[in-house]
Structure 1
Amino acid sequence: MRAIDRATSEQYATPSLLLMEAAATNAAREAVTLLTEGSLGSHEANLHGKRIAIICGRGNNGGDGAAVGRALWRQGARVEIILCGRLADAKGDAQINFEIARRLAAGPDRSLSFIECDTLSTWNEVAARLADCDLIIDALFGTGLTRPVEGAHRAVVERLVQLREARDRSGVSTPRILSLDLPSGLDADRAQPIGPAVRADVTVTFTAPKPANVLPPASRLNGRLVIAHIGSPGELIEASPSRLFLLEASDARAWLRRTRYAPGSYKNSHGHVLVVAGSRRFTGAAALTANAAMRSGAGLVTIAAPRSAIEAVAARLMPEVITAPIAETAHGTASVEAVEEVLTLAERMTLIAIGPGLDASDEATRRFVREVIVRRRVPVVIDADGLNALAPWPSDLRGSDVAPLILTPHPGEMRRLIGTAGDEMLQDRVEAARDFATKHELHVVLKGERALIASADGRVFVNPTGNAGLGTAGSGDTLTGIIAGFLAQELAARAQNSDPIAAVNAAVYIGGLAGDLAARARGMRTMTASDVREHLSEAVLQLDAEGELPS
């Protein structure tokens, strides 16, 4: 971000003070929305009678805060700008904004005040007044913090934490808290909080989100996240060396548009998914996966399941899904003898999805999975017992451009895939997923709060959709089916120009969006995996209604 801001000033003749003013304008707009509990369509609303405290550090984040204070004061609010330190110790643009605020506060209008809070006793006097505010703007620390706050700054953060906790206990709505760039106390580059940190109602981050804005548990402190564009050209952001990306609706929409059903297309134009799943004991997972693949838009779906399980699986399938019984062990799980049957079926398929409900407790089934993966000639999506059968992951098993591997583990499965170092590596989920994907030349969808998609080339994508209601039986099986269905469409529609990661990203985003829509309709507590599948249509229509309606 520092490099982008600097390049904006140097290459595009944009003064840094102008960037700070643009940041303040955007933040002030969100402050008005928060104060009035709704969008007013204009940031020039009348804030007469509203009391706002702005807590500023000496750096640029504090300078942003001082500029926000001026903007809200001009709209009628009573504003107290509190500099945690001495004005003489500030520098650059921040000092300019503090000096402007100090001079305005020295005028006859007593509705704006500027306080240099450089001692703990001064802070204690200020802190006693904060509970009476309508809004507190946290502009103490921005992206520069790398160690836990301490001393007087720790007292400031702890006071804001206490106010939020007291507010939540009492059920009152004020004071609201808005943080600039990220809640103070967080390290912008880390998912794990490094010490006490503010919990905001809204966080306005500038130009692009930072890791702490989007990666849990730090992201839980953001409240509603707003990404404000303040004037840096898009090409500077695109040219930055970051390998971590936040998925947006536009990404999923672009994929839907690229793979729209064209006049003259038919079932084979949209791909054929082979789902290898189920066992005598576990039939539901297989049906959930196959039904989700069918609902997601694949042209054809065939499910291969052990002979003694196929009837029970078929009873739960959509009538459009084809069934294929395969050889089984005495326990009703897929046997090694089924390898040739599956590979023969796969010759007519676009891809394979393998794992849900297979029951990998049988060594013969584990050998079956390994043989199918090693001998595959098409892409394979591997989930659940397919992953367990391969854990810890064989060092010589790789993906390829022709037959990529897409793994969809939850954290427990990921630990088993990594092996003995799994617990330690998963302390940093991004690096764990990236390391595994690049090391084994495959793609990883690491499920959980804020699913991560790690590509074999080292890119990692963070998915913002989804909710706690997805932590229910069958949601992972449903997601596997959606991923398989989207991949089948990508591969069938684009052949040699296919982009598997684009399809996987779209599947994870839209699957999470379907979960959000299901939660709104059913509530998180009572929604099921089947509800997610049934809301896929609504999710797709929300993103690309034009492409889904016949001309």
Structure 2
Amino acid sequence: MIPLYSNSQIRDLDAFAINKLQMPGIVLMENAAKVIVEIILSEYPSISSVGIVCGKGNNGGDGFAVARHLSNAGLNVNVIFLGDSYSMSDDCRTNYEICSNISQTRKNLKLFQYSGLKTLTTLKNSDLIIDAILGSGFSGELKEPIASIVTELNKIEAIKVAIDVPTGLNADTGEGNIIFNSDLTITLGEFKKGLFITKGYENCGKIILSEIGVGRDYFDNVFPDTYLIEPEDAYENLPKRKRRINKYSAGKVLTLAGSYQYPGAAILTSGSVLYSGAGASVLAVPVSVKKFIHRKITDLVVQTYGNEQSKFLTPDDYKTLEQKIKWADVVALGPGIGREEKTVEFVHKFLRKKEFKSAVIDADALFALKDILSKADLRNCILTPHYGEFSLLTNISVEELEKNVLEAGKEFAVKHKTILVLKGAPTITFSSDGYSFINSTGNNGLAKFGSGDVLTGMSAGFCSQSKELLDSSLLAVYLHGLTADLMLNKKTEFGIVSSELMKHIPASINFIKRSFEKN
């Protein structure tokens, strides 16, 4: 897993380098600039002209140093700087003065003091534009003239690169009002949380780390609570299958999904259980739905409840299902069961009696859960809401959640002693002991009906095999996204549908296994 750090932890790194190691800030700036230029020239070898907008702080100083090195490499560089040299930080001023002196004798480096939006016209013919206005310490909303500058820069047709953090983005929360829209973000020192979530996920583009010459020693005693999931994590979390297993020891899942109105959810969830490797997948549906299910998938064991007139779960059905609830290693509950009053009562009864070993709770079951959340025992449960469902559970608007989703998710998971899988772009998993895990796979082809049902089935299927709730959640989320990514080899994100996503799960498992296992 890749650790992700907070602003305060990164600031402490700078202080450690300057105060403990006696490395002047100007040296750190120079180290960073050299790596930044190497990355830019490697990523975009065909560029010939670069525009850079520099602020008055150390992020601006990085920009001036980068401008010098790009000029040294023979590129045409135009730099727009805000304010004047007297308002700049010391290290920023030093690099500004060096650039200013070079520009007096070199034609390919020009500096322009910002005097209004018309100044930005000097950048319109640039192949690449670098944002060096504000660094990772920014929070709140952009003020003028920076807000207008960023808005105009986003309109220019050029490759966009941000140094450290795109201007306008909160590096802790991933939030911001107006944000520089980067194709590449070269972040300094270490990866920051906010680059990978909400607006950061949308605006940072490709993210590459630039060392500043301090080394890794400092981080030996720094313990972050947020991580980015890697392929290695998925491989390590794959269930270990013994040679002498049978269909029952390979994982037993009872799926309580679907209704007369939403039968497809039942197929996607219970089918994904099987495609994830579980040995026994039993689907419980109303009698009226059974024929439809068998026409669509024959590998399932179907248990019915109610009678020919039954269309959804009711509390009376619990007795019929009780033995299977106890039998299953995991119960997947919620997709497509509907929100009828009697169905809500069934969910309440299910959670109150708690005769299950583990459960994955999703969709309509989450709607029912909100009424008894304060009393429900959610230990040994995986909850998989999207933002709208999580908003209902917490009584916090989606807009407010996105302002600090890491804190909101962490607080919920710790308070309720549960695993929370918050579905979104990206999906974030929160553990009951206060850790957050940001997924690194997936694409917008997953924004389809049924995609979440597949994830519920995968979570239940993997958990039934390993009995590890957190590991299974991380694996399911990663492979869910990877499956969609691999499907792009044959179709675009427009053509990804949930029924095919389910059938491609084995291919993504095979991809991970082949990536790490020797022939």
Give me the TM-score of the superposition, normalised by structure 1. Answer: 0.83
CA contact (8 A) 1:60 1:94 kept: yes
Could you tell which deviates more after superposition, 284-293 or 388-397? 388-397
CA contact (8 A) 1:329 1:335 kept: no
Q: Within 5 Å, which residues of 2 pair with 1:210-249?
A: 210-234=192-216, 236-237=218-219, 239-240=221-222, 242-249=224-231
Tell me the equivalent position of 1:395: 374
Tell me the equivalent position of 2:236: 254
1:291 is aligned to 2:271: yes
In 1, the alpha carbon distance for the partners of 2:424 and 2:499 equals: 18
1:440 is aligned to 2:413: no
CA contact (8 A) 1:260 1:548 kept: no
CA 1:336/1:154 → structure 2, altered by over 3 Å: closer, same or farther? closer
Letter in 1 for 2:196: V
In 2, the alpha carbon distance for the partners of 1:522 and 1:395 equals: 45
Q: What does the per-residue CA deviation read over 1:213-246, in whole Å, with 9 as the maximum and x for residues that have no partner?
A: 2222343222333233444555644754543333
CA contact (8 A) 1:272 1:350 kept: yes
* Aligned-partner SS, 2:495: coil
Q: What does the per-residue CA deviation read over 1:418-447, in whole Å, with 9 as the maximum and x for residues that have no partner?
A: 34x455753533333333222222122122
Shift of 1:80: 2.9
Q: Which runs of 5+ in 2 are unaligned?
A: 1-9
In 2, the alpha carbon distance for the partners of 1:221 and 1:449 equals: 12
In 1, the alpha carbon distance for the partners of 2:170 and 2:373 equals: 36
CA contact (8 A) 1:284 1:316 kept: no
1:512 is aligned to 2:481: yes
In 1, the alpha carbon distance for the partners of 2:387 and 2:148 equals: 36
Shift of 1:330: 4.4
In 2, the alpha carbon distance for the partners of 1:93 and 1:337 equals: 73
1:452 is aligned to 2:431: no
TM superposition outliers: structure 1 runs of 4+ over 6 Å:
none
CA contact (8 A) 1:184 1:198 kept: yes
* Aligned-partner SS, 1:516: helix
* Aligned-partner SS, 1:293: helix
1:477 is aligned to 2:453: yes
1:426 is aligned to 2:401: yes
* Aligned-partner SS, 1:453: strand
Q: Which residue, 324, 332, 337 being the options, matches 1:345?
A: 324
1:533 is aligned to 2:502: yes
In 2, the alpha carbon distance for the partners of 1:26 and 1:127 equals: 26
Tell me the equivalent position of 2:109: 112
Letter in 2 for 1:3: D
Q: Which has the higher contact order (CA 8 A, sep 6+)?
A: 2
* Aligned-partner SS, 1:503: helix
Q: Within 5 Å, which residues of 2 pair with 1:86-165?
A: 86-106=84-104, 108-115=105-112, 117=113, 120=115, 124=118, 126-163=119-156
Q: What does the per-residue CA deviation read over 1:227-285, in whole Å, with 9 as the maximum and x for residues that have no partner?
A: 334445556447545433333333323323xx343444554453222212222332211
Tell me the equivalent position of 1:181: 164
In 2, the alpha carbon distance for the partners of 1:276 and 1:228 equals: 49
CA 1:16/1:530 → structure 2, altered by over 3 Å: closer, same or farther? farther
Q: What does the per-residue CA deviation read over 1:277-314, in whole Å, with 9 as the maximum and x for residues that have no partner?
A: 22233221111111111111223222222233233223
In 1, the alpha carbon distance for the partners of 2:491 and 2:349 equals: 42
Identity of aligned residues (%): 29
Q: What does the per-residue CA deviation read over 1:97-121, in whole Å, with 9 as the maximum and x for residues that have no partner?
A: 3343334334x43223345x2x526
Shift of 1:476: 1.0
In 1, the alpha carbon distance for the partners of 2:516 and 2:294 equals: 32
CA 1:152/1:367 → structure 2, altered by over 3 Å: closer, same or farther? closer
Q: Which residue, 349, 369, 377 being the options, matches 1:371?
A: 349
CA contact (8 A) 2:351 2:377 kept: no
In 2, the alpha carbon distance for the partners of 1:149 and 1:60 equals: 17
Shift of 1:141: 0.7
Q: Which runs of 5+ in 1 are unaligned?
A: 38-46, 168-174, 492-497
Shift of 1:335: 2.9
CA contact (8 A) 2:169 2:199 kept: no
In 1, the alpha carbon distance for the partners of 2:397 and 2:144 equals: 37
CA 1:412/1:152 → structure 2, altered by over 3 Å: closer, same or farther? closer
Shift of 1:17: 4.1
Shift of 1:188: 2.4
CA contact (8 A) 1:293 1:482 kept: yes
CA contact (8 A) 2:288 2:308 kept: no
CA 1:473/1:32 → structure 2, altered by over 3 Å: closer, same or farther? same
Q: Within 5 Å, which residues of 2 pair with 1:40-55?
A: 50-55=48-53
Shift of 1:529: 0.4
CA contact (8 A) 1:381 1:480 kept: yes
